[in-house]
Amino acid sequence: MFEHIDARSPTPLYAQISTRLRVAIAAGELTPGDALPSVRNLAGRLRVNPATVVQAYRDLEAEGFVEMRQGAGTFVREVIPERRASERTRQASGLVRQLVAEAGRLGISSKELLQAIAQELEVKVS
Kindly give, in sequence order, each residue whose CB lies less than 8 Å from that of residue 34, ignoring residues fewer than 6 positions away. 75, 76
User: What are residue 67's DSSP bridge partners?
Assistant: 75
- Residues 82/91, Cβ–Cβ less than 8 Å: no
What does the pLDDT look like over 51-107, one tens digit per residue? Answer: 999 999 999 999 889 999 999 999 999 877 777 778 788 878 888 888 898 899 999
pLDDT tens, residue by residue, 25-52: 888 899 999 999 999 999 999 999 999 9
Identify the H or E element spanning 69.
strand 66-69
pLDDT at 125: 62
* Prediction pTM value: 0.70
